[in-house]
Amino acid sequence: IVEKRDVPVTLRVNGSVVAIQTVDLRAQVTSTVREVHIREGQNVGKGDLLVSLDSRAEEANVKKAEAQVQKDLADLANARRTLERQRQLFAQKFIAQAALDAAENQVASLEGQLAVDRAAAESAKVSLAYTQIRASFAGRTGAIGVRPGSVVQPNGAVLVTVTQIDPIQVAFTLPEKELPGLAKAIAAGPVEASITVDDNARQLKGRVNFVDNAVDTTTGTIRAKAQFENRDARLWPGMYVSVALSPRTLEGASVVPVQAVQTGPDSRFVYVIGEERKVSAK
Residue percentage of the chain with pLDDT more than 70: 99
pLDDT surpassing 90 at residue 62: yes
The tens digit of pLDDT for each residue in 158-171 reads: 999 999 998 999 99
27 has a pLDDT exceeding 70: yes
What pLDDT score was predicted for residue 45?
93
pLDDT of residue 247: 81
Residue 108 has pLDDT above 70, yes or no: yes
Q: What is the pLDDT of residues 117-144, one digit of tens each?
A: 999 999 999 999 999 999 999 999 999 9
At 147 the pLDDT is 92
Predicted local confidence at residue 199, as pLDDT: 66
Looking at residue 246, its pLDDT comes to 86
Q: How high is the mean pLDDT of the chain?
A: 91
pLDDT over 90 (residue 249): no
Give residue 190's pLDDT band: very low, low, confident or very high (50, 70, 90). Answer: confident
Q: What DSSP string describes 197-252?
A: ETTTTEEEEEEEEEE-SS-BTTTTEEEEEEEE--TT----TT-EEEEEEEEEEEEE
Long-range contact set of residues 183-186: C-beta below 8 Å, sequence gap at least 24: 183/211, 184/248, 185/247, 185/248, 186/211
Sorting pLDDT into bands at 50, 70 and 90, what band is 188?
A: confident
**Which one-letter amino acid corresponds to residue 126?**
V
User: So what's the pLDDT on residue 35?
Assistant: 94
Q: What confidence tens digit (pLDDT) does each residue in 142-152 have? A: 999 999 999 99
Question: In the predicted model, what is the mean pLDDT of residues 172-198?
Answer: 86
φ and ψ of 179, to 5 deg = -65, -45
Give the pLDDT of residue 275.
Answer: 87
pTM of the model: 0.70
- The one-letter amino acid code at 161 reads T
Return the ∠ at Cα 183 (arms to 179 and 187), rounded to 5°: 175
